[in-house]
């Protein structure tokens, strides 16, 4: 069935609106022009931000699908809207870090951008009220959020996805510093990559200049968010072709 219009609004988050579609297994995702940080405590509207983030995410999901990864991405409708597989999302953020940054630097007092070999993998419990605390597989099991097998599968997938994306960014003159993934179960109970893949949920630096091309410039008020996102989109398009 070709999906041509969104159905009933199911949910609205900080940066996205989720609609049902005529197909019970598919959802319509619309990206808003909002940018948020500090778990929503800081938020602003930026013209064109939804389109930039969504087009980057679309390119990356298409790339991963082509590479044989299982993701929720089905089809792009326009610059801000995609159709995706409906998943039951786990309230877990899976972070992989190629280099130290952000909370890792604060937590361990190491140098910013220090390489991490092998890359570090961490789980966080998604809860604005608790400020997304770090969580481990034993806690995920006891809280019935994920089975040990699912935690293992999320870690393995996150590592493999990061390897593929790190290579893609390197070919495009960019360094992937760290990235956050979210997974959900499909109707068969398989864990599938969902959510989005944009500079909202990863740190990317320009290989040549060291300039930050992601949401960090908004978090720290020290750069032009639109310029960074546009640079990422232009370079990925040059590498992968138009989407
Ligand atoms: P950190 O733990 O250093 O704050 O973040 C590590 C990576 O995960 C960064 O790329 C960051 O953008 C992403 N990340 C961590 N928490 C969140 C979150 O709640 N929302 C989003 N969009 N990304 C997050």
Q: What is the pLDDT of residues 86-140, one digit of tens each?
A: 999 999 999 999 999 999 999 999 999 999 999 999 999 999 899 999 999 999 9
The model's pTM is: 0.96
> Is 213 within 8 Å of 224 (Cβ atoms)?
no
CA distance linking residue 138 with residue 142, whole number of Å: 6
Query: 200: CA distance to ligand 1 center in Å?
Result: 8
Ligand 1: residue whose CA is nearest its atom 9? 202
Atom of ligand 1 nearest to the CA of 124: 16
Query: 112: CA distance to ligand 1 center in Å?
Result: 15
Query: 192: CA distance to ligand 1 center in Å?
Result: 19
Tell me which residue has tokens 């500079």. Answer: 199
Assign 242 a pLDDT band (cuts: 50, 70, 90). low
Q: What per-residue confidence (pLDDT) applies to 38?
A: 84
Ligand 1 pocket at CB < 6 A: 93, 95, 101-104, 132, 178-180, 200-203
Q: What is the pLDDT of residues 137-178, one digit of tens each?
A: 999 999 999 999 999 999 999 999 999 999 999 999 999 999
* Beta pairing class for 16-20 and 115-125: unpaired
Tell which one of 37, 40, 120, 178 to mutate to probe ligand 1, the residue whose CB is within 8 A of the most ligand atoms: 178
> Is 22 within 8 Å of 165 (Cβ atoms)?
no
**What sign has the CA pseudo-torsion 72, 13, 90, 117?**
positive
Q: What per-residue confidence (pLDDT) applies to 50?
A: 97
Q: What per-residue confidence (pLDDT) applies to 243?
A: 56
- What the chain holds in terms of domains, given with CATH numbers, is 9-85 (3.30.200.20), 88-224 (3.30.470.20)
Q: What per-residue confidence (pLDDT) applies to 39?
A: 80
Q: What per-residue confidence (pLDDT) applies to 17?
A: 97
Q: What is the pLDDT of residues 177-201, one digit of tens each?
A: 999 999 999 999 999 999 999 999 9
pLDDT at position 1 over 80:
no
Query: 132: CA distance to ligand 1 center in Å?
Result: 10
User: 55: closest CA among 199, 203, 168, 204?
Assistant: 199
Q: What is the pLDDT of residues 195-239, one digit of tens each?
A: 999 999 999 999 999 999 999 999 999 889 999 999 999 999 999
């Amino acid at each position: 069935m070709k999906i041509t219009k969104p159905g009933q609004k199911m949910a609205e988050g900080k940066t996205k609106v989720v609609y049902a579609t005529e197909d019970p297994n598919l959802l319509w995702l619309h990206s808003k022009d909002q940018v948020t940080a500090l778990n929503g405590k800081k938020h602003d509207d930026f013209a064109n931000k939804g389109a930039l983030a969504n087009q980057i995410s679309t390119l990356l999901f298409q790339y991963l699908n082509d590479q044989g990864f299982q993701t929720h991405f089905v089809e792009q409708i326009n610059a801000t809207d995609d159709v995706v597989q409906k998943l039951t999302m786990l309230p877990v953020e899976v972070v992989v870090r190629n280099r130290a940054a952000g909370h890792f630097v604060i937590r361990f007092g190491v140098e910013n951008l220090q390489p991490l070999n092998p890359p570090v993998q961490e789980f966080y419990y998604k809860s604005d009220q608790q400020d997304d605390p770090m969580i481990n597989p034993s806690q995920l099991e006891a809280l019935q959020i994920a089975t040990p097998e699912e935690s293992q599968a999320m870690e393995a997938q996150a590592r493999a996805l990061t390897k593929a994306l790190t290579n893609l960014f390197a070919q495009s003159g960019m360094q992937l510093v760290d990235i956050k993934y979210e997974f959900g179960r499909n109707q068969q109970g398989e864990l599938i990559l969902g959510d989005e893949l944009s500079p909202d949920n990863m740190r990317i630096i320009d290989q040549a200049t060291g300039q930050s091309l992601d949401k960090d410039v908004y978090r720290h008020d020290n750069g032009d968010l639109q310029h960074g996102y546009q640079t990422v989109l232009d370079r990925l398009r040059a590498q992968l072709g138009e989407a």
